[in-house]
Structure 1
Amino acid sequence: MATAPYDQDEPLAASAPGVLWALLTPLLALLDRTGLLTAPPDALQKIADRLDTIAERCGPAIATYSNPAKTLAAELADALPVVWTEGVSAGPAGRRFAAALAELSGTPAVVAELPEALAAHSALLAGRLAAGADPDDFFRDRVAEKPAMHARVVLLRDRPLDGLTAATAARELALTHDTPISELEPEAGGELETLAELIAVTDFAAVYLALASRA
């Protein structure tokens, strides 16, 4: 399995890419054998294949314009991530992403599930963290002055099984408040595969953001 963008001499944080699945895969196999959940060997192999694919797409050698993790990290620079999730797999992935951002780069983030997030975070997007909240920002010296922190929505979502989605309303709310939005949606697959993809991409993004903050 491909490795994460870490110096191998540094201790790995709990949120480092690959650490979670290295610990979780044996547990899934054990739970499958005891009948507590269904995670047969072929399902675990699909997870491993998906993680390898994501590592190839998001690795350090891949340029930002074709690397979803580097792109997300660049978009979140000097931003407050407002993570909205939709779907069974997206919920835990979003919560882990917020934890990884805090642990690896010290970046605060808020997270909520759709559609509840629309009401919960509407005031946040309308406040001083809104992109258009500071009319003097246009005249700011971008060399001498640190940019003000603004909110950026990160929408993590599965493909809705019943066709019902709050994603359109989420995009409209962000647009109404001049808030930029980043979206991640996994390729089709089982719940564990889509969970693995969302966690892997956001883990890589958290690492790249941490590396950029130390530069």
Structure 2
Amino acid sequence: EAPAVGGPAVPGTVLDLRWSLPGWAGPLDLLMIGSSTGTEPGLVALVEQAYQHGSTVVCVAPPGTPLADAVAQTRGMALPFALSTVGLPEPPAAPETTAFHDPGRFWAILVPLLVLLERLGITRTTTEELGALADRLDAAAERCGPAAAVHLNPAKALAVQLADSLPLLWSEGAVPSAVARRFAALLAERAGRPALAAELPEALLTHRGLLSGAFAGEAHTDDFFRDRVEDPAPLELRIVLLRANDGEESAPGPAHRLADEHETPLSEPAASAAGPLETAADLLALADFLSVYLAVADAGRS
């Protein structure tokens, strides 16, 4: 997410989960690692490879974990991993049990990395902008939180739409695409629900077959004799369009037309007209709250 927020000016490469450095990595390269648990053996292996290549390593991970220890042993830099304890009646549980479910851990990783990128002159994210980001997240928590009514709460409203749906998370732009991937991961981890993420315009081709397949809305006719209690409704596709409101992209038009052609419902959460950090905050907060609402709703059904 950090390279996405930084935009095309950031000379960074996001590594896939292959636990290996590119062959060209060398003394002039910086490896940045973020982990909410610090227990992934593959990340420790990456640190060891970076040391062998002569690359500098910076990590954000809970202190005392295997990853943090490996970085210290290879003379890397460990940035602070600090979680907010405001409103917590007791210390947080062990990282391995709460890492993915605590959205605060995500920001505890991302913010130190953004500060470092600014100090290195790679991005222009100032301290004031990070403070404004915190205020924006607070506002999003009020807007999407449990106290807000459904008709005023974008997370609750979208959760209702996705209750019996298989989401297709279509994204446009670096930040929305990063959010879409995390969105799908949150739905799987918290709510136990599948979702497919794809970037526009490629999604128009890669998901076209799904729009006319077994999960398409036009393929289902409601059975009048179906037991509404014992027999749940079949999952139907719903497109969720994630994009920044910058007025520069052109794929949403074809996306809407393709959805209309196949009678597939489409939801488009209100996008921020501000910069990439603000867009990330708005969309990530929406995904965080929505995944929790779906998990709670599914628990109530069982």
How far off is 1:153 after superposition?
Answer: 0.6
Partner of 2:245: 159
TM-score, normalised with respect to structure 2 = 0.65
How far is 1:139 from its partner?
Answer: 4.7
> How much does 1:78 deviate?
2.0
Secondary structure of the corresponding residue to residue 211 of structure 1: helix
Count of residue correspondences: 211
Which of 248, 251, 256 lines up with 1:171 in the alignment?
Answer: 256
**53-62 or 36-45, larger mean C-alpha shift:** 36-45
Asked whether 1:91 is paired with 2:177, we answer yes
Residue of structure 1 aligned with 2:214, choices 97, 121, 128 = 128
Select the structure of larger CA radius of gyration: 2
Q: Which residue of 1 aligns with 2:234?
A: 148
Residue in structure 2 matched with residue 212 of structure 1 by the alignment: 297
Q: Is the 8 A contact 2:242 2:268 kept in 1?
A: yes
In structure 1, distance between residues paired with 2:271 and 2:134: 15
Match of 1:62 among 118, 124, 148: 148
Q: How does 1:27-38 map to 2 (within 5 A)?
A: 27-38=113-124
Deviation per CA, 1:60-95, whole angstroms, max 9, x where unpaired? 111111100011111111211100001232110111
Give the alignment's Cα RMSD to 1 decimal. Answer: 2.3
User: How far is the alpha carbon of 1:13 from its aligned partner?
Assistant: 4.0
Unpaired runs of at least 5, structure 2:
1-83
More helix by share: 1
Distance change (3 Å), C-alpha of 1:171 and 1:161: closer
> What is the letter of the counterpart of residue 202 of structure 1?
A
**Residue of structure 2 in register with 1:106 after alignment:** 192
The answer on whether the counterparts of 1:87 and 1:160 sit within 8 Å (CA) in structure 2 is no
**Structure 1 spans left out of the alignment, 5+ residues:** none
Aligned-pair CA distance for 1:50: 1.3
- What TM-score, normalized to structure 1? 0.89
Q: What SS does the aligned partner of 2:98 have? A: coil
Match of 1:190, as an amino acid?
Answer: G
SS at match of 2:287: helix
State the shift of 1:15 in Å.
5.0
Find the partner of 2:266 among 170, 181, 188: 181
Identity %: 49
Cα distance, 1:12–1:70 mapped onto 2, change above 3 Å = farther
